[in-house]
Structure 1
Amino acid sequence: MFKKILIPTDGSALATQAALEGIDYAKRVGAEVICVYVAGENQATAFAFSPHAKQEVHWPTDSEYKQIVAETSKAIMAPVLQAASDAGVKFSEETDISKSPSASILAAAEKNGCDLIFMASRGNTGWEKVLLGSIAAKVIASSPIPVLVYKVQKDQLPKYADYFPEV
């Protein structure tokens, strides 16, 4: 069946719940997991031209931003890594910085030879969906491999602090 499963996460409770379910699925089918976190690009320079920007505001440099993203990625993936370890599932992780999370997810799947993408859908509706779009919908529309979209009821989600007690 599936041998390599890509699980994207953004650290939200919904994505973490889907990632944990993805680990469980990988265990059942005997697959390994590649978990990917995609951060948005550093937007500091976009505001540098503004006469309203306060001069004392420190925008992170590219290297500072990359360090922040790496630390964030480690924290976000910690519960998923722990679940994989507990389940005996081979696990690797990747972090990317991109304007297009969907393109980064698809590129990671291709680069790692994945045969399934297992991801959450935020479930945006109405204007939120129109304005923000859907990363899951973009991945589904463009993916050459199967995409399993895990849906969980928001009222079934544990509190964010249950995943990251130090927050």
Structure 2
Amino acid sequence: MYKRILVPTDGSPLSKKAVRGAIDLAAAVGAEVVALNVVPRYPMSYFEGAVVASPKEVARVEKQWQEHGQSLADDVAAAAQKAGVTARAVTARSDLVAEAILAAARKNKCDLVVMASHGRKGIKRLLLGSETQHVLTHGQVPVLVLR
């Protein structure tokens, strides 16, 4: 059925639900799990141009974000391995989360993406957008959405 399942995580309670679902599904079908965290490229300010950060400070923040993102992905891989599922942890650097998820699915040859969704409707959905919706509509790989 599925051989490699990509599960993006940001460490939130909702993404943890998707992680549990992905690990359970992988265990049931004998698939590998690829845990992904998307790390922003550089610090953004609410008032673009209002605060100037030195290159050293930007590098420090980027390193901190990378380490935190890798830690989140490593935690998912460890949970999968504890459940007897082969897993690996990866990070991607991008400010476009959905695009990074789609690229990771292609790069890692995943045949399923398991994601969570807030299930927003109406105006909230229009205003807040949805990374899950973007992955669903622009991807070439099946997506299992958990709420």
Alignment length (residue pairs):
147
**What is the CA–CA distance in structure 2 between the aligned matches of 1:138 and 1:60, rounded to whole Å?**
34
Matched, 1:35 2:35: yes
Q: Is the contact between residue 44 and residue 59 of structure 1 (CA under 8 Å) also seen in structure 2?
A: no
| Distance 1:146-1:72 versus aligned 2 partners, 3 A rule | same
> 2:6 is aligned with what amino acid?
L
Which residue number corresponds to residue 6 of structure 2? 6
Q: CA deviation at 1:77?
A: 2.9
Q: Considering only CA atoms, is the larger Rg found in Structure 1 or Structure 2?
A: 1
Q: CA deviation at 1:79?
A: 3.8
**What is the CA–CA distance in structure 1 between the aligned matches of 2:77 and 2:71, rounded to whole Å?**
10
- Ranges in structure 1 where 5+ consecutive residues have no aligned partner: 152-167
Q: Is the contact between residue 44 and residue 60 of structure 1 (CA under 8 Å) also seen in structure 2?
A: no
**What is the CA–CA distance in structure 1 between the aligned matches of 2:119 and 2:132, rounded to whole Å?**
10
Q: Is the contact between residue 23 and residue 33 of structure 2 (CA under 8 Å) also seen in structure 1?
A: yes
SS at match of 1:20: helix
Q: CA deviation at 1:33?
A: 0.8
Alpha carbon RMSD of aligned pairs, Å? 2.4
TM-score (norm 1): 0.77
Matched, 1:112 2:103: no
**What is the CA–CA distance in structure 2 between the aligned matches of 1:49 and 1:37, rounded to whole Å?**
27
| Distance 1:145-1:49 versus aligned 2 partners, 3 A rule | closer
Which residue number corresponds to residue 123 of structure 2? 127
Divergent runs of 4+, >6 A: 57-60
| Distance 1:42-1:60 versus aligned 2 partners, 3 A rule | farther
| Distance 1:59-1:20 versus aligned 2 partners, 3 A rule | farther
Identity of aligned residues (%): 37
**What is the CA–CA distance in structure 2 between the aligned matches of 1:66 and 1:5, rounded to whole Å?**
27
Matched, 1:82 2:78: yes
Which residue number corresponds to residue 68 of structure 1? 64
**What is the CA–CA distance in structure 2 between the aligned matches of 1:124 and 1:96, rounded to whole Å?**
26
**What is the CA–CA distance in structure 1 between the aligned matches of 2:123 and 2:61, rounded to whole Å?**
31
